[in-house]
Amino acid sequence: MATLELSLPEEVEQPVRRRRRLGFLFWFAICWIVIVFVLAIFAPILPLQNPVDMDMLERRAWFSSEHWLGTDGLGRDELARLVYGARVSLTVGLCAPMIGLVAGGALGLLAGYFRGRFETLVVGSMDVLLAFPPLIFALAVVAYLGQSIPNLTFILGFLGIPAFMRVSRAATLTLARREFVIAAEALGASHARILLRELLPNVLLPLFAFFLLGVAVTIVVEGSLSFLGLGVPPPMASWGSMIGEGRESLDVTPRLAFLPAVAMFVTVLAFNLVGDTLRAITDPRQGAL
């Protein structure tokens, strides 16, 4: 007769280090984002020219030791404008999705957990918000409150709330039915504790991946709005407004539109790449092999 084996501790293997091959592209993306951030943050103390100083004698100048990337149609230093434009693009690009992340994420979490009438109300109001034409909303706010970076951030952030709400609600809905949530409830945990300790850490990751995507989209949207003249007020530079200004001299100096476009393209691509990779590697596997 075999005996009980309870006295034997269950052997637990040491974890196998999984090698995480992130690839060249991921590191390239990280490098690019770091460079853009450093340039944007330290722009005022870097030996750059003033981005709004005009030099009518040096209009559309070619690359030189004085103007590394040449000058634009009003003789302003292109490099300085690119770096200062990054400040605007990044400020708006990071702050606006943050509004969506916090407000939309919280609403979605609550709606997915509590369900019922609250959920119906939240989902309904988000549908209304989605149905409202975003461009008209942007126009109305700009016309009423004026053109400024905070206003632009607010508009873009507000418009992002429904999308974040949906991501967060969908994740919560599937998680709230999982047994570990019921287990917490059976332990006598309060709603707040279940929301913050059990659900939030699990919802945060899909939200964060979506946030990085949101950063990329917002940079593009900010560019489009600035291109349309609804973005930052001139003479301030942003990548979108630079492309817009460069458009007038596309035939003579295509680089004026092309350089900010490339900057925007690479930055957006970098954010998307990092977002995708992070989502892939931080997902804990559902079952041990």
Partner 1 sequence: MTQAVAHVPSGEPLLKVDDLVVEYGFGNRTVHAVSGVSLEVARGETLGLVGESGCGKSTLGRAVLQLRRAQSGSVLFDGHDLTAMQGEALRKMRQRVQLIFQDPIASLNPRRRIGDIVAEPLIIAGVKDPAQRKQVVYEVLSAVGLDPDLVVGRLPHEFSGGQCQRICIARALVLNPEFIVCDEPVSALDVSIRAQILNLLEEMKARFGLTLLFIAHDLAVVKAVSDRVAVMYLGRLCEVAPSEQLFARPAHPYTALLLQAIPVPDPDVRPAESVATGEPPSPIAPPSGCRFRTRCPRADQRCSAEMPELREVAPGQFAACHHPLA
Partner 2 sequence: MSEALLSIQDVAVELPTPRGTLRAVDHVDLSLEAGRTLGIVGESGCGKTMLSRAILQLLPKKAKLSGRVMFAGQDLVRLAPERLRRLRGRDLAVVFQDPMTSLNPVLTIGTQLIETIQEHLELDALAAKRRSIELLTAVGIPAPEQRLAQYPHQCSGGMRQRIAIAIALSCEPKLLIADEPTTALDVTIQAQILDLLAREQRRRHMAMIIITHDLGVVAGRTDEVAVMYAGRVVERAPTPALFKRMHMPYTEALLAAIPKLETAPHTPLPAISGRPPDPTRPVPGCSFAPRCRYAAGRCHQAKPELVAGETAGHVYACFHPIQMAEGVGA
Residues within the interface to partner 1 (CB under 8 A):
3-6, 8-10, 12, 14-15, 178-180, 182-190, 193, 197-198, 201-202, 284-288
CB nearer partner 1, residue 21 or residue 285: 285
192 touching partner 2, by CB under 8 A = no
Matching residue, tokens 């709004």: 52
| First vs last C-alpha separation in the chain | 32
CB of 89 to partner 1, least distance (A): 33
Pair of tokens at residue 159: 């418009």
Residues 15-54 binding partner 2 (CB under 8 A) are 16, 18-19
Report how far residue 72's alpha carbon sits from residue 164's, in angstroms, rounded to the nearest whole number: 38
CB nearer partner 1, residue 209 or residue 220: 209
b/e map of 68-102 (b: 16 or more CB within 10 Å)?
A: ebbbbebbbbbbbbbbbbbbbbbbbbbbbbbbbbe
Q: Residue 18: which of partner 1, partner 2, none does it interact with, CB under 5 to 8 A by kind? A: partner 2
284 touching partner 2, by CB under 8 A = no
CB of 192 to partner 1, least distance (A): 11
Matching residue, tokens 């429904």: 162
Query: Contact at 8 Å (CB) between 107 and 165?
Result: yes
CB of 142 to partner 1, least distance (A): 41
- Give SS3 for 86: helix
10 touching partner 2, by CB under 8 A = yes
If one counts every other C-beta atom within 10 angstroms of the C-beta of residue 174, the result is 10
128 touching partner 2, by CB under 8 A = no
CB nearer partner 2, residue 16 or residue 131: 16
Q: Residue 65: which of partner 2, partner 1, none does it interact with, CB under 5 to 8 A by kind? A: none
CB of 106 to partner 1, least distance (A): 19
4 touching partner 2, by CB under 8 A = yes
Q: Residue 78: which of partner 2, partner 1, none does it interact with, CB under 5 to 8 A by kind? A: none
Residue 127 DSSP code: H
13 touching partner 2, by CB under 8 A = yes
- In 111-247, the DSSP E strands lie at none
Report how far residue 143's alpha carbon sits from residue 49's, in angstroms, rounded to the nearest whole number: 32
CB of 188 to partner 2, least distance (A): 31
11 touching partner 2, by CB under 8 A = yes
Report how far residue 275's alpha carbon sits from residue 194's, in angstroms, rounded to the nearest whole number: 27
Report how far residue 259's alpha carbon sits from residue 254's, in angstroms, rounded to the nearest whole number: 9
Which chain residues interact with partner 2 by CB under 8 A?
Answer: 1-5, 8, 10-11, 13, 16, 18-19, 289
